[in-house]
Structures are given as structure tokens and as C-alpha cells.
Amino acid sequence: MSSNNTNHTGYKSYLEEDGGRKGIFKWILSTDHKRIGLLYLYAMMGWFIVGVVLGLLMKLELIAPGKTIMGPQAYNATFTVHGVIMIFLIVIPGLPAVFGNFMLPIQIGAKDVAFPRLNLFSWYIYVLGGILVIISLFGNGPPDTGWTFYAPYSFKTGTNMLPAALGAFVLGFSSILTGLNFIVTIHRMRAPGMTWFKMPLFPWSLYGTAWIQLLATPVIGITLLMVAGERILGIGFFDPAKGGDPLLYQHLFWIYSHPAVYIMILPAMGAISEIIPTFSKKTIFGYKAIVISTLAIAFVGYFVWGHHMYTSGMSGAALWAFSLLTFIVAIPSAIKVFNWISTMHQGSISTEIPFLWAASFIFIFMIGGLTGLVLGSLAVDVHLHDTAFVVAHFHFIVFGGVGFAFFGAMHYWFPKIFGRMFDKSWAKTGWITFSIGFVTLYGPMFYLGIMGMPRRYFDYLDEFHGPNIISTMGALVMIAGFLIILINLIKSARHGEKTTEMNPWGGTNLEWQIPTPPPLENFDEIPVIDKATYKYD
């Protein structure tokens, strides 16, 4: 491969090559992995705005004790729909669907994923799932069970639970098919010479993620079908009156939903592992350790679901085992943090925007991860279970972890994807505003939780008023930051300064060795890989 930074002339980029279709059909009929990645991005952006508005409504309700802008039923519906949208429509597809689709084939030196039509089909299923979620908002009123659909309430409530659960089921299907596609792609389509241990870390993280998508998602699928059977036929699987065990629902639900947290965070870690060496101009420290820890997280992460159920009345033996396993699964995450920091050590760091996001990711992720261990220890969890502490921890990991990595990846790959550069000073303003808002929003919730403020109530005691005001203020700041980032990116994608530079950041992987924006099939000639990844000469 040539390493010059000039562009090939006389090629058509994927954005210009439209397969002879017009208007929106250029997108919704294209099986090009890059266009599909962007389809997900646009759909998710729309959903994210809805989710953020719902979150803001909750924070406004909580700005003062008592009813502020909504009553209990509306509040229950708001946190349920917020959760369903954010979890099933945004963070679970999240990085794999957007950047995985876009970058995976390029990074392993392939022209597309293994099954391009199946890939487009997955997007359609995703849209169908989204439509079902919208349907659930009408009729008998939006679901009010929480995104966890806990039995027995989930089949007793009069609200529109069924379409929402069906939506989650359908979205699971989309997730499974994407995972299947990625595993086959990675097994079969790596460029010649790219052995497993020469593969970049983002594809590795997608590989681990894909296995969880494949093996955990069907469990929630069947569980939601059982709940549907419960609602429609009254079978009695989870109905204590008929001998069913609601706790079994919780087991089955978390057998999926805990690994799902790793579906969210593993690709985020993968993206961070791409950004940090590029901006430290240094080979990643402990490549193999990161790979192995990725697989270890994927594997052990499957066996820790019980830590969501400490106060549910599980047996002592199970409590003990799940707590132990939870502590074990923290080790590989810690290994990654050490590796990222060691990569930076003595590197020549340039504090470009993607690096700032990555560095703040590490900070946020460590808070989220360590508070996770607080919740993972049995005795403490009894006090903190179902308090605002859990909400804070969860948002530090899932929103802090995935969100910060997503924005980092977005800025990192932005010039490659759109062939334009974003406005760097606005991007920096957005980052700092967002980060300050984020910590101000969720930080006080740790304190509130320790003091005993329960989650999922529209009301609270007067003594919790102060921190809640700070938290709501933080929400407003964070949303301001989010709007700056969003508007900057949208404007830059349309009118930003054009760039055809192949490698604006000085990265080492294959995506930086093809023209910007990439041509339709990525490579004129499939590259032959002869050296390890992340090598700086």
C-alpha cells in the first residue's frame, strides 16, 4: 500500500455512486455496508432526540418535590418509553450497527460484509421494531412497566405493553442478524495475511459483541414470547396465582439483559482502543491482553446476571456465586484501562477532539465501573438497590461509556465518512459543555441514592431537593452541549470544509489507507497484510 497522503483522482466515492437510484431510494435500497451504517446513524439520531426529550421531561418533573409537570402515571410511562428507546433502539444497536457496519469490512480489508442483503434486511427489521414501539404509545396509553417488563405486572397492566415487548423482540432479531453477519464476515473475509492476531481491536470487539448478540438475544426473545403468551392466553408461566415464578422471569430477562450491557460497552471499548494509539502515535500497549480481555468479558459476562436480583429472594448460594463472578468480570475491564493508559505513557499525544472524548471516556468509565462493583457487593447492594445510585451508575456506564465512545468515534471517523472536516472549535465547546453537564447531572444521583432516594418515583422527600436541582441544571447544560455537537456535526457534514486527505489523524489501520470518502467497494485491490496492526515507525 502506498502511504502518500494524496487522493486518487477519477474515482467515484460511495456517496456519489448511487446505483442509478433516485432520492431516498439511493439509501433504502442500497446494500452497501457504508450506506447501511449511515441509515442506522440517521435513524438512531432521530430516536436519540426523542429519548433525550423524555429524559429532560423526567428531570424537569424532579426539579421540585410533588407534582411539577406530570403525575405518577405519566412519569411511569415516561421512564419506560425512555428506557425502551434508549436501550433497544440506541445503545444496543449503537456502535456495531453504525461504525461496525461502516468500518468492519474496511478494517479487515473486505469489500463488504458477508451477507449484504441480510444486512439491509436487518435495518428494515430495526425500523419495524421502532414502529412497534411507536404503536405502543397509542391506544391504552404507553407502557408503564419500566424497560425491564418485570412480571407479574407486565401481564397485568392495562397499558399497551404488548406492542412494546413485541418491538423489543423484533429489534432483537435485527441484532441477532447483524451479529451473525459480522461473525461470518470476520471468519471468512479477512484480507490475505490478516491473521486473527493482526486484526485491529475494533473488529475484535465487534467479534466478541456479535457472539453475545447471537447467544443472549434469543433468550429475551423467548422470554418476551412467554410474557405475550401470558397476556394473551393466561398460561401461567410467571403468574404466582397459577404456580408460575416471577423470579424466573427475572432470571431469564437478565440472562439476556446483563450480557446486553456488554453488547453496549465492548464496541465502545473497541473504538477507544482505535483512538488512543492514533493520537498517542504509539503502538497499543498489550494488544493481546486487550483481545483476550474482550473475549473474557464476552464469556464471563454471560454468567453474572444474578447481580441484578440480590434483593429478590434468591438463594444464598446463588447470591454468593453471582457476587464472586461479578468481581471477576471487572478484571478484564480494568486490564483494558491499564492498557489504554500505558499506551498514552511516553507517547506524543495530540489533544484532538477524538482524543478528548476518549480520555474523558476513561474517566467516566472508571467511575461507572467502580460504582458497579459497589453495587456488585452483596451487603452494600441491599442498601442501594433501586435507588438513584443505580440510575447514576447505569448512566455513567451506558450513557457515559457508550455515549462518550460514540461521540469520540463519530469525530474520529467523521472526515473519512463524509469527506469533510467538522468545525474543531465548536466541537471542543460541545465536548466541554457536554462533559460538565453530564457529571453535574448524574453525579448528585450517587449522593441521593446513598441518602436513600428511590428511583422510578415522580415525587421525593423535601430533604432531597437541593441535589435534584443541581441534577436538573446539569441536564440542561448537557443538552446544550449535545445540541452544539449535533448542530456542528450536521452542519459540517453538509457544508464543512472538504477534505480528500486519506489519513488526517495519522492512523495506522486500513481505513486510513483508502481514499476519502471511500469508493464503493473500498479497495481497488484487496490488500495483503504483512505487519502487525498499530505499528508506528
Partner 1 sequence: MSDNTNHHIVPYRTYGLILLLLLVLTGTSVAVTQIELTRWATVVALLLASTKSAFVLAIFMHLKFDQNIYKIMATLIILLVAVVIVLTFLDYGFR
Partner 2 sequence: MSETIAHHNEHRDDEASKLGMWLFIFTELLLFGGLFVTYAVYRHGHPQAFHLAAEQLDVVVGTINTVILLISSMTIAMSTTAIQKKDKRTTLLLIAITLVLALVFLVNKYFEWSAKIGHGIWPGSPLLEELGRGDTLFFGLYFFMTGLHAFHIIVGMVLLTVVFVRVQKEKLTFDNFQLLENGGLYWHLVDLIWIFLFPLFYLIT
Q: Return the residue of 117, 313, 316, 462 that touches partner 2, per CB under 8 A.
A: 117
Q: Counting contacts by CB under 8 A, is residue 23 touching partner 2?
A: no
Determine the 3-state secondary structure of 456 from DSSP: coil
Q: Tell me if 156 sits within 8 A of 177, measured CB to CB.
A: no
**Residue 188 touching partner 1 (CB under 8 A):** yes
From the CB of 34, what's the least distance to partner 2, in Å?
Answer: 12
Query: Helix (H, G, I), strand (E, B), or coil: what is residue 57?
Result: helix
Q: Which one among 74, 289, 321, 432 touches partner 1, defined by CB under 8 A? A: 321
Which of 217, 273, 323, 387 is in the footprint of partner 2 by CB under 8 A?
217
Smallest separation (angstroms) from partner 2 to the CB of 184: 5
CA 213: distance to chain centroid?
13
Choose which of 33, 59, 190, 251 interacts with partner 1 (CB under 8 A).
251
Nearest to 103 by CA among 507, 424, 528: 507
Closest distance of CB 312 from partner 1, Å: 9
Residue type at position 12: K
C-alpha to C-alpha distance for 305 and 322, rounded to whole angstroms: 7
d(CA 158, CA 168): 19
User: Among the residues of 157-245, which ranges form H helices?
Assistant: 161-188, 201-233
219 binds partner 2 (CB under 8 A): yes
Determine the interface stretch with partner 2 among 212-220, 340-348, 414-422, 430-438 (rule: CB under 8 A): 212-220
C-alpha cell at 51: 429519548
C-alpha torsion 300→305→307→308, nearest 10: 150
- Check binding of 314 to partner 2 (CB under 8 A): no
Stretch that binds partner 2, among 40-48, 226-234, 289-297, 332-340 (CB under 8 A): 226-234
Residue 318 site contact among partner 2, partner 1, none (CB < 5 to 8 Å, cut-off depends on kind) = partner 1
Q: Which amino acid is at 516?
A: T
**Residue 317 contacts partner 1 per CB under 8 A:** yes
- Using the rule CB under 8 A, is 247 a contact of partner 1? yes
| Nearest by Cα to 98 from 171, 42, 170 | 42
Which DSSP helix (H) or strand (E) runs through 421?
strand 420-421
Exactly one of 55, 100, 221, 430 binds partner 2 (CB under 8 A); which one? 221
Instruction: Tell me how far, at minimum, the Cβ of 111 lies from partner 2, in Å.
Output: 8
Instruction: Identify which of residues 324 and 487 has a Cβ nearer to partner 1 in the complex.
Output: 324
Residue 44 binds: one of partner 2, partner 1, none (C-beta under 5 to 8 A by kind): none
Lookup result for grid cell 495530540? 350
Question: DSSP letters along 128-168, please?
Answer: HHHHHHHHTTSSS----STTTT-TTHHHH--SSHHHHHHHH
Stretch that binds partner 1, among 6-14, 54-62, 313-321, 444-452 (CB under 8 A): 313-321
Check residue 238 for interaction with partner 1 (CB under 8 A): no
| Chain position carrying cell 431510494 | 25
Here the cell at position 265 is 460497552
In degrees, to the nearest 5, what angle opens at C-alpha 382 toward C-alphas 376 and 384? Answer: 75
CB 257 within 8 A of CB 305: yes
When asked if residue 307 is in the footprint of partner 1 (CB under 8 A), the reply is: no
Per rule CB under 8 A, is residue 114 in the interface with partner 2? yes
Of 39, 82, 91, 112, the residue at the interface with partner 2 (CB under 8 A) is 112
Residue 114 partner contact from partner 1, partner 2, none using kind-dependent CB cut-offs of 5 to 8 Å: partner 2
Q: Which span (98-106, 299-307, 409-417, 430-438) binds partner 1, by CB under 8 A? A: 299-307
Partners of 420 in beta bridges: 498
Q: Of the candidates 90, 104, 212, 252, which one interacts with partner 2 according to CB under 8 A?
A: 252
- Mapping DSSP onto H, E and C, the string for 356-371 reads HHHHHHHHHHHHHHHH
CA distance 362 to 367: 9
Q: Binding string, 492-521, against partner 2, x = CB under 8 A?
A: ----------------------------xx
Rg value, the chain, Cα: 23
Residues found near partner 2 in the complex (CB under 8 A): 17, 19, 29-32, 111-112, 114-117, 176, 180-181, 183-184, 187-189, 214-219, 221-223, 225-226, 229, 233-237, 242-245, 248, 251-252, 255, 520-521
Residues found near partner 1 in the complex (CB under 8 A): 187-188, 215, 247, 251, 255, 302-303, 306, 314-318, 321-322
